[in-house]
Amino acid sequence: MRPEATPVIHAVGLTKRFGSHTILDHLDLEVAQGERVALLGLNGAGKTTFMRCLLGLVPFEGALRVADRDVHGGGREARSRLGYVPQRAPSFDGTLGEVIDFFTRLRGTAPEAVEARLEALDLPLSEHGEKAVRTLSGGMLQKALLALALGAEVPLLLLDEPTANLDAKARREFLRSLQQVNDGTTILLASHRFADVEAVADRLLVLHRGSIAFDGRMQELRERVEDAVTLWIKVPPAMRDRARQQLQTTIELSTVLANGTALGVQAEHTARVDVLLELKRAGIPVEDFWTETPSLHQLLEGVLGLEAAEGEAP
C-alpha cells in the first residue's frame, strides 16, 4: 500500500526522446513523502535521463511534478524543492568555505543549517573551510554536497549513483551519512550497487527500455538474492561427475553448475548444509566451498527475465 498524501514525485505519460530513440516511454509514477526509492536498471535504461527530467535540465513530453511544483518551463520552482548529489562531485574553484557560501546564498539556505550538517558529517567548516576544494577527497566532496542538500531541508533528495567513484571506506561513510536524513524526506537513489540499495531503499523501481519493469519492495529483492546465491564446492576432479550425480538424485536442487574446478549449486539457503552433508555421506571429500552472491546486474537480469550470465567460479 502506498501512502495517500500528495506525491513528492508525480509523473504522467513522461516521455523523453533523443531523435528517434525513446529513452522514457510514457512513464507513470508516484513516489510518496518519506519513501526511500532505489532507481535501478541496466546501462542506458533511462535512470539518469529520468533524474535530468526531474531537475528540469532536459525538455520532455508528459506531466512531471516535484512536491506539487511543475517541472515544465525551466523548473526553477521544482528545483527549489529538491537537493541533488551527482555521481561525481565537481571540482569547483576556491575553498570549501567559499563553495558552501556560494551555494547557500544561491539557494537562500540558512548557512547555520548547512554548517550543522557538515559538523554532523564530520566535515566541520572550522577545520576544512580554508582547504581548496581540489585538494579534498571524493568522499569529502560528496559529503559536502550532501550537507548542502540536507541543509536546504527539501522534500526530495536525488542521489545519482553518489558512491560510484568512492572507495570502500568513503562509500560506507557516505551511506552512514544518509541515515541522518529526516524521515519525512523522500530519497530517490540511482545505483548499480546492491549494498547501496540495501542500505537506503525500501522500494525498488526497475527501469527497462523506458518503462517501469518492476515496482516492488526491498524484501522481494532480498528473497531473490537468497534464492540466487550459488554454493560452490570443490571436489577432486576424478569425483566430480559422481558428486554431481549424487546431488541431483538425492537433493532437490534448482541448478547444478560446473566449471573447470568446482560444482555450483543453487538451493534454498536452508538446504545448503544438506548439500555438504550429502557429499560427506557419499564418501566424496570436499576440498573447499564458498558462496557467491549475485551482482545487482545479475539480479536485474533475473527481474527483467533476461538471459542470466553463465555461472563462473569467482
Interface with another protein (CB under 8 A), residue from 2, 105, 217, 222: 105
DSSP annotation string for 32-74: -TT-EEEEEESTTSSHHHHHHHHTT-S--EEEEEETTEE-STT
Of 88-96, 180-188, 201-209, 278-286, the segment contacting another protein by CB under 8 A is: 88-96
Near another protein by CB under 8 A, which window of 100-108, 174-182, 206-214, 292-300? 100-108
Least gap, CB of 57 to another protein (angstroms) = 5
Which of these ranges, 72-80, 118-126, 293-301, 306-314, lies near another protein under the rule CB under 8 A?
72-80
Find the Cα–Cα–Cα–Cα dihedral 165, 168, 173, 174, rounded to 10°: 30
Contact between 89 and another protein per CB under 8 A? yes
CB 189 within 8 Å of CB 164: no
**Considering the rule CB under 8 A, would residue 79 count as an interface residue with another protein?**
yes
Dist. CA 149–CA 158, nearest whole Å: 9
Pick 181 or 235: Cβ nearer another protein: 181
**90 or 216: whose CB is closer to another protein?**
90
Q: Which residue among 17, 107, 131, 244 contacts another protein (CB under 8 A)?
A: 107
The most distant pair of C-alpha atoms in the chain lies apart, rounded to whole Å, by 73
**Count of residues engaged in binding another protein, rule: CB under 8 A:** 25
**DSSP 8-state symbol, 212:** E
Q: Which residues are 15's β-sheet partners?
A: 61
Work out how close the CB of 79 gets to another protein at its nearest, in angstroms, rounded to a whole number: 4
Grid cell listed for 220:
522481494
Q: Is 129 in the site for another protein (CB under 8 A)?
A: no
Q: Report yes or no: 242 and 250 within 8 Å, Cβ to Cβ.
A: no
- Least distance to another protein from the beta carbon of 56, Å? 8
The residues in 178-237 that bind another protein, with binding defined as CB under 8 A, are: none
Alpha carbon separation from 193 to 147, 256, 283, 294, 298 (Å, rounded): 22, 27, 40, 11, 11
Name which of 80 and 211 has its Cβ closer to another protein: 80
Site string for another protein, 133-162 (x = CB under 8 A): ------------x------------x----
Question: What's at 19, amino acid-wise?
Answer: G
Q: Residues 3, 28, 91, 219: which binds another protein (CB under 8 A)?
A: 91
Contacts with another protein in 25-64 (CB under 8 A)? 55, 57-58
Contact call for residues 61 and 8 (beta carbons, < 8 A): no
Q: Is-contact 258 244, C-beta < 8 A? A: yes
Angle, alpha carbons 112-115-118 (nearest 5°): 155
Q: Which of 40, 47, 50, 84 binds another protein (CB under 8 A)?
A: 84
Q: Is 297 in the site for another protein (CB under 8 A)?
A: no
For residue 46 the three cell numbers come to 533511462
Kindly list the residues in this chain that would bind another protein in the complex (CB under 8 A). Answer: 55, 57-58, 74, 76-77, 79-80, 84, 86, 88-94, 98, 102-103, 105-107, 145, 158
